[in-house]
Amino acid sequence: MTNMMFVQYNTTDHLKSEKNIAAYLEAVTENTEDDPACIADARNMTTLTHETRSG
């Protein structure tokens, strides 16, 4: 059996510009068949990104 190693992943670490955020929201919208829960999660990530950057 092979040991697996996991790394912590945080979406906000990769949303470094408004352009990245817009592309992320567009990708989520296009790839989730307009699932309200997924879109809400994506919006929460972008809000968290803005809060993290400003404070």
First vs last C-alpha separation in the chain: 45
Query: Residue 55: what pLDDT?
Result: 63
Count other Cβ atoms within 10 Å, centred on residue 49. Answer: 22
Tokens representing 38 are 């997924």
For 9, the 3-state DSSP assignment is coil
What's the whole-number mean pLDDT along residues 8-28?
92
Whether this model's pTM surpasses 0.95:
no
Q: Is the pLDDT of residue 54 over 80?
A: no
Instruction: Compute CA distances 43 → 7, 24, 30, 34, whole Å.
Output: 24, 10, 14, 13
Q: What digits encode the pLDDT tens for the residues 23-45?
A: 999 999 999 987 999 999 999 99
Is residue 1 over pLDDT 80?
no
The answer to whether residue 9 scores a pLDDT higher than 80 is yes
pLDDT at 31: 92
Task: Tell me the CB-side half-sphere exposure of residue 2, using CA atoms within 13 A.
Answer: 3
